[in-house]
Amino acid sequence: MAKPKNETLLSIEKLEVVYHNVSTAVLGVSFEVRNHQIVALLGINGAGKTTTLRAISGFLGVDDAKVTEGLIQFRGEKIQNKPPHFITKKGIVLVPERDKVFENLTVEENLQVSVSLRKSRASGQDFKDLILHYFPVLGKVGNHLGGYLSGGERQMLALSTALVCGPRLLLVDELSLGLGPIIVDELMNLIKVIRDEQQVTVLLVEQNALAALEIADYGYVIENGRIVFAGDPDRLRNHEDIKEFYLGQGERESQKSYRDIKQYRRTRRWYG
């Protein structure tokens, strides 16, 4: 029942998200994620990446924001402005940037809490074995409370609990935030392996473009609520401006003048 590789799983068309009926955070964003791809959505702090993820996962209402224009389609079905549990049921699971595990529950309990969406697939125990296979560290800290884990362990737990749900599309918000480069590499590789072996599609939202591009099949750059560049990793890595603004500077804000930034035009690329 594997879907053909080229089929679009998630498609965002001219998305606009407005906060408090006043400020527009995302202005006409369009991109797509194909089945089994790892897609990276890159941008600095405040570019609109998290807002986009929230729009997809249905958590805009929490911040008094809503999708005012555009479409979000998942497997052909419109899902913008739908409630979170509806979207989770469709198979989209989010690993959030903050509050990603239950702090007062143990690692074991965190893993048990997730509701598996795939009834026809392997049982809960098989999933757990799978998790321990990919994240053996979690087996050692089974009794520790979520709140007392190290940064890396916590991120692993967050990914695991998301995977236990058996998602079709995994959204990961800022995987690398607060983690050292070795751990980040390890986690990125794990995601690639999981994608290869478990047929999960992944949308990575990242400030750390270098790390993300190591595993991504395709990437988009978002700035001030707009997609300004798109392409496969090589294309992104070789583009002068991307190199300067995203690959050398990591989390620091750009120090160029605004005029230079205005050079970016909204572009849209299709597979040729």
The binder of other proteins chosen from 71, 75, 102, 186 (CB under 8 A):
102
**Residue 182 in the binding site for other proteins (CB under 8 A):** no
| Sheet with strand 38-42: strands edge to edge | 92-95, 169-173, 201-206, 38-42, 218-223, 226-231
Q: Tell me the C-alpha distance between 97 and 174, whole Å.
A: 6
Contact flags string 220-249 toward other proteins, x per CB under 8 A: ------------------------------
Amino acid at 40: A
Q: Tell me the C-alpha distance between 142 and 28, whole Å.
A: 44
Residues 6+ apart with CB under 8 A from 268: 30, 227, 230
Nearer to other proteins, 41 or 93 (CB): 93
Closest CA to 162 of 107, 103, 215, 115: 115
Residue numbers 37-96 binding other proteins by CB under 8 A: 57, 59, 61-62, 84-85, 88-89, 93-94, 96
To the nearest whole angstrom, how small is the minimum distance from the Cβ of residue 165 to other proteins?
Answer: 5
Nearer to other proteins, 89 or 268 (CB): 89
To the nearest whole angstrom, how small is the minimum distance from the Cβ of residue 84 to other proteins?
Answer: 5
To the nearest whole angstrom, how small is the minimum distance from the Cβ of residue 169 to other proteins?
Answer: 13
Contact flags string 135-164 toward other proteins, x per CB under 8 A: --------------------------xx--
Amino acid at 83: P
Number of residues near other proteins (by CB under 8 A): 28
Q: Tell me the C-alpha distance between 242 and 249, whole Å.
A: 10
From 5-13, 32-40, 112-120, 256-264, give the range in contact with other proteins by CB under 8 A: 112-120
The binder of other proteins chosen from 99, 234, 240, 253 (CB under 8 A):
99
The binder of other proteins chosen from 7, 14, 45, 113 (CB under 8 A):
113
To the nearest whole angstrom, how small is the minimum distance from the Cβ of residue 263 to other proteins?
Answer: 38
Nearer to other proteins, 89 or 256 (CB): 89
Nearer to other proteins, 49 or 226 (CB): 49
Q: What are the Cα distances from residue 201, in Å, to 182, 191, 215? A: 24, 10, 12
| DSSP structure string for 155-207 | HHHHHHHHHHT--SEEEEE-TTTT--HHHHHHHHHHHHHHHHHH--EEEEEES
**Residue 115 in the binding site for other proteins (CB under 8 A):** yes
**Residue 100 in the binding site for other proteins (CB under 8 A):** yes
* Structure tokens that stand for 96 in this block: 């959030």
The binder of other proteins chosen from 8, 24, 73, 116 (CB under 8 A):
116
Give the single-character DSSP code of 243. I
Q: What are the Cα distances from residue 175, in Å, to 66, 121, 126, 129? A: 25, 27, 25, 23
Q: Tell me the C-alpha distance between 13 and 9, whole Å.
A: 13
Would you tell me which residues interact with other proteins (CB under 8 A)?
57, 59, 61-62, 84-85, 88-89, 93-94, 96, 99-105, 109, 112-117, 161-162, 165
